[in-house]
Structure 1
């Protein structure tokens, strides 16, 4: 599967901006639906609403959950900790990775891609440690699958750091920019 270069990751804090952000992303971008704190029925309903918008714009839709849940919800794949993605039906599996240990787990479970984070300081976790570009690149070099940078990412940082695949939460939902860089 050809993975998108640009990914929007959902969060309840920016929920109101998501429909507009999905409409502004370049066709064929990726969308990861999280919304962990919603009660199950409301989470499913919001997923259906946002997935419909994402698909209308040609985006790949991934659900934070197990591969079985992703299949039941008709998502293209599942997102989560590497151990949660092991087994289950086939489909895209995107692992969230913050350490070498988690990266090794993602390699062992043969995830299709990893979101490696946080690359830079983030507004969502002020003062929390981040990888920085050097550690990000060293860890990415150990990945057996494509790496998507997450954490403090925006179009400027992706372009200046020459990071091809990147994801953002607030950096894409609130950005006034109408076009985002897609590297070739």
Structure 2
């Protein structure tokens, strides 16, 4: 399971090729790109997945399992209810609360993205978990916990030796300038 995950978004689209190439080998890439129509979304996925695979990255798609398989993704990313039944794919669940964490465990999640740890540009004004609540969720995850939301390498340093935290993920915090 990768320790560093890059998530795609309209905000970081222009820098994705460069960012994927400079991530450490064996990182993870979650392709979201909800802003594109289906045809353009699949074409962009194909281009970015090729770069990611060339660097040995795990490629996840935020979509139904059938679509993730058809597009050749290694993993599926989303709310616990969306990843259930995704056999043959790594299942990456999002968890924003204890209730969602329990659902992620029931869905057979291979990893849980605990978020938002800090304030994030993806959800301006939304309440964040804060480090204490995020660590509580990570401790109870029962699988690798990936911290997401306002994360960057500097912020992760404070968590890197915490037993229950496997890694971190970001949009802006990893995107090339």
Q: TM-score, normalised by structure 2?
A: 0.93
Greater mean deviation of Cα atoms: 142-151 or 158-167:
158-167
Ranges in structure 2 where 5+ consecutive residues have no aligned partner? none
Deviations 1:51-101 (A, max 9, x none): 011111111101111222111111101001111111143210101111111
Instruction: Map 1:82-97; keep pairs closer than 5 Å.
Output: 82-97=80-95
1:123 CA displacement: 2.3
Q: Pairwise mapping of residues 1-184 of structure 1 onto structure 2 (< 5 A)?
A: 3-162=1-160, 163-174=165-176
Cα displacement (A) at 1:164: 4.2
With normalisation by structure 1, the TM-score equals 0.90
Structure 2 match to 1:181: none
Q: How many corresponding residue pairs?
A: 173
Separation of aligned partners in 1, 2:97 and 2:105: 12
After TM superposition, which residue ranges in structure 1, 4 or more long, deviate above 4 angstroms? none
C-alpha RMSD of the superposition: 1.2
Q: Would you say the 8 A contact 2:116–2:150 is kept in 1?
A: yes
Distance in 1 (CA, whole Å) between partners of 2:87 and 2:150 is 32
Deviations 1:83-133 (A, max 9, x none): 111114321010111111111100111111111100011123232110111
**Secondary structure in 2 matching 1:170:** coil
